[in-house]
């Protein structure tokens, strides 16, 4: 493990002591602290005001009971979370995740990442995250609705367009946002569009929000490629996952002339050398909420499904982990390197383990962290908030152009900051430092709060 700056060792020790058993949160904090060594030397004012220590402690953590009734009339019980991490730059902003793996450590890691990601967008949004250990898999639409209503019946009191603005994440899409918005509206008697993002187009949503995380990741990689005079044209790409991020990453890669030859879900991965058929993938995964094996079966011919291997065994020049945290480990990273992969960019949040990042870096693979590469989703959420605040709605093309511009600016800022702090080409250092400085300066200006 790389050593931490001596001033940061007690900060990290305190994070571990205060947050026992929250391995993902420790991992996310460690990665940022490792990047901050050159900043600590240059900016003693941050240490004087304990900015880094304060940043690692959420401003507020909310944990609540979510009871609901299933279709058989049985009472079910889940736990809900909202971690309001930092509001120096704007209202808390970040998604809600519904997945059985959710516990406080996952929500804190996501909320911590969100602070820096949101700062990097250059838009006025703070960082937060929430969710529940509710498992939507196999649940009817009625059960999902009752769960969302119960969840919002507690959460609404903590939200507001100037306070905290959730959106989706794993397990939460437009359907769930709709049920939650409906319940918020009913309880508060306010049509407060700006309280949630990821809404439907006819009730306050923004064009491109659905596509934004996947498109944004691809725009980011396009900039990485352009920096060396290259493009997606003719490139073989592997995209893990087959949810919202993966689907729209695949769509944009195909529009830009690349070919995605593999994607996955929790049951396995599919290899389709002719290029993933996106209409079929959307039918199977979005409309039917089916498995990746259904895609292979319906596609027939060239597509094969693999249930006992790793998607990172599939040779490619660009790899985009777009499924979930820690899905790309050292074994996977080694396979990517052996097969000549040149770029890895995170569409998901923290999908690459620290060991895998080290291995990729040492092998000269260019690596873009999620904080920078997947910031397109939350950026477009901020554009949705702008439209809600001005009671306006923008065209698809205009919104997509704004997104592309934001991704370009995040790319350039990350790479320029890396250069300035003595780590040329290191997107991790650049993104962490640039995001940190933006938040830290605001925290200094706002005093000890
Ligand atoms: N969940 C997304 C993320 O990880 C989007 C959050 C948002 O739009 O607020 O950035």
Q: How far is the CA of 161 from the centre of ligand 1 (A)?
A: 16
Report residue 2's pLDDT band, with 50, 70 and 90 as the boundaries. Answer: confident
Indicate which residue's Cα is closest to atom 10 of ligand 1.
Answer: 378
Cα distances from 134 to residues 69, 160, 173, 286, in angstroms, run 13, 24, 14, 19
Comparison of pLDDT for 378 and 302, the residue scoring more: 378
Q: Looking at ligand 1, which atom is closest to the CA of residue 375?
A: 10
C-alpha to C-alpha distance for 43 and 30, rounded to whole angstroms: 19
For the cut 80, the answer to whether the pLDDT of residue 1 exceeds it is no
CA 174-177-182 angle, 5° bins: 125
The preferred substitution site among 167, 177, 375, 399 for testing ligand 1, maximizing ligand atoms within 8 Å of CB, is 167
The preferred substitution site among 377, 383, 388, 407 for testing ligand 1, maximizing ligand atoms within 8 Å of CB, is 377
Report pLDDT digits (tens) over 107-149: 999 999 999 999 999 999 999 999 999 999 999 999 999 999 9
For the cut 90, the answer to whether the pLDDT of residue 301 exceeds it is no
Query: The pTM is what?
Result: 0.97
CA 378-281-243 angle, 5° bins: 30
Q: Where are the beta strands (DSSP E) in 235-383?
A: 236-240, 259-265, 268-271, 304-306, 318-321, 343-345, 366-368
Q: How far is the CA of 113 from the centre of ligand 1 (A)?
A: 10
Q: Which of 129, 185, 252, 285 is catalytic?
A: 129
Indicate which residue's Cα is closest to atom 5 of ligand 1.
Answer: 378
Burial readout 412-430 (b: 16 or more C-beta within 10 A, e: otherwise): ebbbebbeebebeebbbbb
Q: How far is the CA of 287 from the centre of ligand 1 (A)?
A: 22
Residue 285's pLDDT is 94
C-alpha to C-alpha distance for 128 and 106, rounded to whole angstroms: 12
Q: What percent of the chain has pLDDT over 90?
A: 98
Residue 331 tokens, joined:
């074994």
* Pocket (CB within 6 angstroms of ligand 1): 93-95, 167, 169, 197, 349, 377-378, 381
Report pLDDT digits (tens) over 221-269: 999 999 999 999 999 999 999 999 999 999 999 999 999 999 999 999 9
Residue 390's pLDDT is 98
C-alpha to C-alpha distance for 360 and 425, rounded to whole angstroms: 13
Active-site annotation holds for 199: no
Q: Looking at ligand 1, which atom is closest to the CA of residue 381?
A: 8
Average pLDDT of the residues in 42-46: 92
The preferred substitution site among 378, 387, 399 for testing ligand 1, maximizing ligand atoms within 8 Å of CB, is 378
Rg of the chain, C-alpha, whole Å: 21
Average pLDDT of the residues in 4-13: 95
């Amino acid at each position: 493990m790389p050593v931490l700056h001596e001033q940061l060792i007690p900060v990290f020790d305190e994070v571990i002591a205060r947050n026992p058993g929250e391995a993902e949160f420790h991992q996310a904090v460690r990665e940022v602290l490792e990047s901050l060594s050159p900043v600590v030397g240059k900016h003693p004012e941050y240490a004087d005001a304990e900015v880094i220590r304060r940043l690692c402690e959420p401003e507020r953590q909310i944990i609540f009971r979510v009871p609901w009734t299933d279709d058989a009339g049985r009472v079910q019980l889940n736990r809900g979370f909202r971690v309001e991490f930092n509001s120096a730059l704007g209202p808390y902003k970040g998604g809600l995740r519904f997945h059985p793996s959710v516990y406080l450590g996952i929500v804190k890691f996501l909320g911590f990442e969100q602070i820096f990601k949101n700062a990097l967008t250059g838009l006025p949004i703070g960082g937060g995250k929430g969710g529940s250990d509710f498992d939507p898999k196999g649940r009817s639409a009625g059960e999902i609705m009752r769960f969302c209503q119960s969840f919002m019946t507690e959460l609404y009191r903590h939200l507001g367009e100037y306070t905290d603005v959730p959106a989706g994440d794993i397990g939460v899409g437009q359907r769930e946002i709709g049920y939650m918005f409906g319940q918020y509206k009913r309880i508060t008697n306010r049509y407060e569009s700006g309280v949630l993002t990821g809404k439907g187009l006819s009730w306050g949503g923004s064009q491109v929000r659905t596509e934004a995380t996947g498109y944004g990741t691809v725009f980011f990689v396009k900039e990485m490629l352009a920096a060396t005079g290259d493009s997606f044209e003719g490139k073989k790409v592997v995209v893990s996952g087959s949810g919202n991020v993966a689907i729209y990453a695949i769509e944009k890669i195909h529009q830009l002339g690349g070919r995605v030859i593999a994607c996955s879900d929790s049951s396995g991965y599919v290899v389709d050398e002719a290029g993933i058929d996106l209409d079929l993938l959307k039918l199977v995964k979005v409309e039917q909420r089916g498995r990746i094996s259904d895609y292979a079966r319906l596609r027939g011919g060239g597509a094969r499904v693999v249930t006992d291997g790793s998607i990172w065994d599939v040779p490619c020049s660009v790899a985009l982990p777009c499924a979930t945290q820690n899905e790309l480990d050292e074994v996977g990273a080694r396979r990517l390197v052996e097969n000549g992969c040149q770029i890895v960019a995170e569409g998901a949040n923290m999908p690459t383990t620290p060991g895998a990042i080290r291995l990729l870096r040492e092998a000269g693979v260019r690596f873009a962290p999620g904080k920078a590469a997947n910031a397109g989703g939350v950026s477009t959420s901020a554009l949705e908030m702008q439209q809600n605040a001005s009671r306006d709605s923008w065209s698809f093309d205009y919104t997509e152009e704004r997104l592309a511009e934001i991704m370009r600016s995040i790319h350039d800022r990350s790479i320029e900051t890396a250069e300035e702090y003595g780590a040329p080409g290191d997107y991790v250092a650049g993104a962490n430092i640039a995001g940190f400085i933006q938040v830290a300066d605001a925290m200094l200006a706002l005093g000890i709060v």
